[in-house]
Structure 1
Amino acid sequence: MADNPQKPAFDGDMAAYTALGGAVYRASALTRGPWHPQQQHAGPPIALVSHALEAAAQAHGLHHLARLTANLLRPVPIADIEVRVQEDYVGRNAGHFSAVALADGKELIRATALFQREDEVGLPDGLPGHPLPLAPKQPDVSPVQRFPFAHHEWGYPDLVETRTAQGRMFDGPSAVWFRMSHPLVMGQTPSAYQRVAVAADSGNGISAILDLSTHVFVNSDLTINLLRKPVGEWVCLDARTHLSSHGGGLAESALYDELGLIGRATQSLFVRRRYSA
């Protein structure tokens, strides 16, 4: 990827994180989000937590991440992040795990995950809602649209390639395809679940119905439910935002790969007007 002439040169290979050993990862500028120049977009650190949880579950032969819930306790700085994983309960067909992400000893993200054992199950023909629906458009016929922030600094818009399948990003309900342009962890290929996590936290942004310059609509959590393992590099969010007049909201996204529906993601929103100093 060629450098944007308006941006500073990026030193070395590009990945969201570099593993430092001891479950510690150094965040790069590719994780930068829209709310503060020294804070990460929540998608990459949630994907980093998924990376650690997947490793713990695979040790038990559990390969399908059916649910991931991340509670965002504090803004995640662009800094060294430690991820600790705990095995809560592992049974014959499912396992429950939890994780925490920290920086300088402060807890930033607390997550829980459900993993399931995979097995082939034949389904009868004619089930309601089957075959599973497809995204509004496939990525090869969806026009490129970049995130409208961080034009002069490296950030999340450089970590992902985005194409609009329906609507327009940051202008109401929209469906957007995401593909990672760089690895999550240096030297490693991101898993299908990590690709979903990087994208799924953007539902409230791509379906925004408030102006980013006048309002804050930050999510305090993210829950991803997946009915099957995604395939391929592309993940589509068909997202909607719903707001109350009391400072709360909900963003919900139907999730797709190129073969069809894979699950849903929801985010609880904290909504406030921006005030100038």
Structure 2
Amino acid sequence: MGGAFYEPRGGGRYLSTELTAGPWSSDSQHFGPPSALIVRELERCAPRQDAVLSRVVFEILGPVPVAELEVRARVERPGRTVELLSAELTAGSRPVVKAHAWRISGADTAAIAAGGPGRLEPPEAAGPMGIPDGWGRGYLDAMEWRTLRGGLFDQGGATVWVRPLVDLVDGEKTTALQRLFTVADSASGVSSLLDIRQWIFINTDLSVHLHRRPTGDWFALDAETTIGPGGVGLATSALHDEAGPVGRTAQALVVRPRT
């Protein structure tokens, strides 16, 4: 599949392509591509080869339009061991996403590395996952989906391998970290408990914690959704690459009936 999620326009500006369009509207983006675009900017912000982004939190201030965007990042709190970075994504003059990230300098803890869930079966052991009626197709068609359990056709928990079929920015090689973030926001979709034709369940944020650098092209979401009694939900997932677990995600959900 050709194309990219974004075309560079210079000066931190990017033209969104139709491949960024999300399941709710062809005019607004799935949050996977814009979160990855922000992470790309964070990677380039006063870069340090020895440091790892350990946590990134995105506050989604409103729908991200399929339009020209501008992204900026800066160091909020410098430090030798720990740094706090921030970023903002704007559409026109309107901020649509604010993000904060902790960046931690590397150290050799390989001898004591432990904990976390077990490794998943690999992508080649998973079956293809189709896209049901009622889901917008831009972003969904730009990704390859393979399921170990559940998925968009099955309400409830899911374990799904995903990889992008297009570059993040046209003419650039996408990093493993950027690829991971194109996937991370999909936990609430693959583990949905509700019919998208009858209910809206949109996340107001995305939190991603990582305990090591991700590698490869494929990333898995071992995801669950919980719906509370007052219009609020929570989607969480364990993130994996083919080498094993790499981190966790969480999303707060606004849950409403379609009118």
Task: State TM-score, norm by structure 2.
Answer: 0.94
What letter is aligned with 1:38? D
**Alpha-carbon shift at residue 121 of structure 1 (Å):** 2.2
Q: Partner of 1:165 in structure 2?
A: 148
Q: Partner of 1:109 in structure 2?
A: 97
Distance 2:41 2:65 in 1: 19
Distance 1:113 1:274 in 2: 34
Q: Are the structure 2 counterparts of residues 149 and 22 from structure 1 closer, same or farther at C-alpha, using a change threshold of 3 Å?
A: farther
What letter is aligned with 1:198? T
Contact preservation (8 Å) 2:177, 2:215: no
Contact preservation (8 Å) 2:40, 2:178: yes
Describe the superposition over 1:114-134 as per-residue Cα deviations: whole angstroms up to 9, x where unpaired. Answer: 112223224248x5x37x611
1:189 paired with 2:173, answer: yes
Distance 2:133 2:175 in 1: 27
Distance 2:42 2:134 in 1: 30
Contact preservation (8 Å) 2:23, 2:137: no
Describe the superposition over 1:21-59 as per-residue Cα deviations: whole angstroms up to 9, x where unpaired. Answer: 00000000000001111111011001100000111042x
Question: Out of 176, 188, 192, which is 1:204 matched to?
Answer: 188
Distance 2:76 2:202 in 1: 29
1:118 paired with 2:118, answer: no
Q: Partner of 1:35 in structure 2?
A: 24
Which blocks of at least 5 consecutive residues in structure 1 are unaligned?
Answer: 2-12
Distance 1:194 1:213 in 2: 30
Q: Partner of 2:37 in structure 1?
A: 48
Q: Partner of 2:86 in structure 1?
A: 98
Which blocks of at least 5 consecutive residues in structure 2 are unaligned?
Answer: none
Cα RMSD (Å) = 1.7
What letter is aligned with 2:214? P
Stretch of structure 1 that moved more, 215-224 or 159-168: 159-168
**Alpha-carbon shift at residue 149 of structure 1 (Å):** 5.5
**Alpha-carbon shift at residue 192 of structure 1 (Å):** 1.5
Identity %: 37
Q: Partner of 1:148 in structure 2?
A: 132
**Alpha-carbon shift at residue 108 of structure 1 (Å):** 0.2
Contact preservation (8 Å) 1:62, 1:94: no
Contact preservation (8 Å) 2:12, 2:70: yes
1:87 paired with 2:72, answer: no
Distance 1:237 1:149 in 2: 22
1:172 partner SS? strand
How many residue pairs are counted as aligned between the two chains? 258
Contact preservation (8 Å) 1:54, 1:63: no
Distance 1:243 1:101 in 2: 29
Q: Are the structure 2 counterparts of residues 124 and 118 from structure 1 closer, same or farther at C-alpha, using a change threshold of 3 Å?
A: closer
1:78 paired with 2:62, answer: no
Q: Partner of 1:9 in structure 2?
A: none
1:214 paired with 2:198, answer: yes
Describe the superposition over 1:213-261 as per-residue Cα deviations: whole angstroms up to 9, x where unpaired. Answer: 0000000000000000011100000000001110001000000011111
Higher strand residue share: 2
2:151 partner SS? coil
1:251 partner SS? strand
Contact preservation (8 Å) 1:146, 1:157: no
Give the number of the structure whose alpha-carbon radius of gyration is greater: 1
Distance 2:105 2:30 in 1: 31
2:64 partner SS? coil
1:249 paired with 2:237, answer: no
**Alpha-carbon shift at residue 150 of structure 1 (Å):** 7.3
**Alpha-carbon shift at residue 193 of structure 1 (Å):** 1.4
